[in-house]
């Protein structure tokens, strides 16, 4: 059985990886390579990489490691990820979802930098929002709320009027810390208590109201079968 929840907002703030763009294959390739170089358990590393900037993940995994090494490895990994778009595709429903947002207030809020976000959105064939908050835009990585707060400010809306779409623990924590409601996208998100969780963006329908509000209709649960 399925049920529909409707949330109303004035602006939407969208994470990129695993929320609108499926880049899991690239992320896994790059982080498995880095984990092997460090002698770390790759499966354990992959449990914590999602949502944060790379240097922040490295600092969490190797707390005694000099930050200069984390920053250097992060720069190298960003270059590798930007060059590797094999398997990067839109999350199911993302093209229609992004088309429905055309002309409505929305922003990309990602831990990727500008070149990586360009590469992945391009590979997935998705339009880049006019407002984009990237790694270069913030001083702190998710789960710090800075990125989402900046996105809301650039769009000109109060945090409580914004709705976040996220997949990761760090991202969902960041959205909540910003005082925003969070739609969790994908199975991973369900464990981190988003406001509402959907399997993918095929379960999301956007409706623009004349007063400027955006109704976001979310179908939870498995689709009904005949």
Cα separation, 183 vs 3, whole angstroms: 15
Cβ atoms of 88 and 124 within 8 Å: the answer is yes
Return the SS3 of 140: coil
pLDDT score at 3:
86
Q: Which residue numbers are catalytic?
A: 15, 17
* Bond into 132 cis (ω within 30): no
Q: Average of pLDDT values for 11-27?
A: 95
Q: What are phi and psi of 128, to 5 degrees?
A: -80, 125
pLDDT score at 46:
84
**pLDDT above 60 for 1:** no
Dihedral (C-alpha) 207, 177, 111, 65: value to the nearest 10 degrees? -160
pLDDT score at 145:
97
**pLDDT above 80 for 23:** yes
169-202 burial code (b ≥16 CB/10 A, e <16): bbbbbbbbbbebbbbbbbebbeebebbbbbbbbe
Dihedral (C-alpha) 220, 129, 162, 169: value to the nearest 10 degrees? 60
Q: Residue written as tokens 């835009």?
A: 137
Q: What is the pLDDT of residues 67-125, one digit of tens each?
A: 999 999 989 988 999 999 999 999 999 999 999 999 999 999 999 999 999 999 999 99
**Cα angle value 72/77/80 (rounded, 5°):** 135
Element spanning 149, H or E: helix 146-155
**pLDDT above 60 for 222:** no
Cβ atoms of 54 and 21 within 8 Å: the answer is no
**pLDDT above 90 for 176:** yes
Q: How many CB atoms lie within 10 A of CB 165?
A: 27
**pLDDT above 90 for 43:** no
11 band by pLDDT with thresholds 50, 70 and 90: very high
Cα separation, 194 vs 213, whole angstroms: 21
Q: How many CB atoms lie within 10 A of CB 224?
A: 8
**pLDDT above 90 for 210:** yes
196 band by pLDDT with thresholds 50, 70 and 90: very high
Q: Which of 75, 74, 38, 42 is nearest to 56 (CA)?
A: 74
211 band by pLDDT with thresholds 50, 70 and 90: very high
pLDDT score at 221:
59
Cα separation, 178 vs 15, whole angstroms: 14
pLDDT more than 90, % of the chain: 81
Q: Average of pLDDT values for 43-65?
A: 86
């Amino acid at each position: 059985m399925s049920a529909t929840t409707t949330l109303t907002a004035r602006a939407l703030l969208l994470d990129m990886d695993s929320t609108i763009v499926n880049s899991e294959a690239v992320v896994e390739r790059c982080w498995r390579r880095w984990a092997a170089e460090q002698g770390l358990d790759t499966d354990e590393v992959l449990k914590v990489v999602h949502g944060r900037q790379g240097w922040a993940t490295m600092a969490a995994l190797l707390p005694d490691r000099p930050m200069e090494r984390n920053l250097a490895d992060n720069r190298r990994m960003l270059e590798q990820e930007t060059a590797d778009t094999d398997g990067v595709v839109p999350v199911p429903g993302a093209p229609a979802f992004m088309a429905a947002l055309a002309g409505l207030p929305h922003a990309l809020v990602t831990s990727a930098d500008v070149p990586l976000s360009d590469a992945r959105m391009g590979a997935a064939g998705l339009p880049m929002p006019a407002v984009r908050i990237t790694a270069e835009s913030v001083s702190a990585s998710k789960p710090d709320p800075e990125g989402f707060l900046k996105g809301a400010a650039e769009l000109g809306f109060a945090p409580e009027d914004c709705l976040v779409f996220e997949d990761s623990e760090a991202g969902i924590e960041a959205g909540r810390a910003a005082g925003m409601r969070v739609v969790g996208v994908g199975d991973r998100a369900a464990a981190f208590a988003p406001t509402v969780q959907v399997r993918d963006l095929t379960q999301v329908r956007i409706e623009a109201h004349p007063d400027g509000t955006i109704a976001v209709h979310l179908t939870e649960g498995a689709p009904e079968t005949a």
